[in-house]
Amino acid sequence: MPVPVKELPEWPSNVEAHPLLVIDYQLLKAGDETEINRLWEAGTTLGFWYLKNHGAEQDFVAMWGMGEEVFKLPLEEKMKYEQGDEGLSFGYKAVGHYIVDAAGNPDPVEGVNVAKDDALSYPKVSRREYPTVINDLMGPVVTPFVEKCVEISNTMIEIFNKKLGLPEGTLAKLHGRNDFSASETRTIKAPANLTPGKLAIGGHTDFGTLSLLVNNLGGLQVLPPGTAEWSYVRPLPGHMICNVGDTLTMFSGGLLNSNIHRVVPPPGSQSKYDRWSQVYFTRPADNAPLLPFLESPIISEAFNKLSPERQKALGPGVTSWEWFTRRQKNYRTKNHKGADTWAANRGTEHGRA
């Protein structure tokens, strides 16, 4: 289990962190227009924000406990549930099985992902089998975590739907609870004392709609639009770090920003501790077409101002599942054939001004 946050070193005073807007989830649920406008501001600028008063703090901690039980298993047992190299991400991921850059350098982190479809259908198997330790914790830990994250994601998706001028329920229909999707939990542990500057996760945009993240330590960095300098995002106790993903950028015609980010070792003395990360990725239904909703005047106006290259990047005309599996497959170390493989795993980075 991660060392409790209160026992970890404080954020180094000489390390600057990029400021994020702090959004109050309870105010969003209450329909507070000021808070809704602040969420819109966050989503259309940096694409990252803090979320407080979400009520899921202990659920994130419990998921780390689940991850610890998995990571303690013998490697031979864990590898029975490995994700594989065909574009799926549900299951166990061993150290070194993802690349972090165009040179094909392997990642140093261990992880395990659980499909939303399996968590909500348990004990029925919808996507794949998992280690017994996950099955034993599915009811008390994993499913409640997924339920809360689905609720939180849906609340923000509904807000973005309205701000984008879309008919009520347009985005919700693409994120049906019972529709198969690549939505999933991901629990990651990066080891302590990594070489300074070593990439734990390479620069990327997220594949899906929204990401809900809690880290016990720093290490997450964002690349603010219009800059070439990476900036740390400081984890705050009791706060999620949320961000827009590629598919929401596509649906919105580029209005909502899927920003590039990466993970490096924690700053200062925090680097002496294992870094734990727990995230829930909300992604559209597998068969959802990835195209901007140009019937919305708000989206159409924004999209028509983009360069042809950017318009092409935001309207690939593939399904959510095709987008996801193409990116996931080309992250796998075994599939790396050179810089072209890295280019093939890219998302909406293309055509940025």
Of 186, 207, 184, 204, the C-alpha closest to 288 is 207
**What pLDDT does 3 receive?**
67
Asked whether the predicted pLDDT for residue 2 surpasses 80, the reply is no
- Rounded average pLDDT over 256-272: 96
**What pLDDT does 353 receive?**
47
**What pLDDT does 352 receive?**
59
Asked whether the predicted pLDDT for residue 85 surpasses 70, the reply is yes
Could you report the per-residue pLDDT of 206-225, keeping only the tens digit for each? Answer: 999 999 999 999 999 999 98
- Work out the burial of residue 155: count CB atoms within 10 Å of its CB; fewer than 13 is exposed, 13-18 middle, 19 or more buried: middle
- Band of pLDDT at residue 349, cut at 50, 70 and 90: confident
**Is the CB of residue 51 less than 8 Å from the CB of residue 23?**
yes
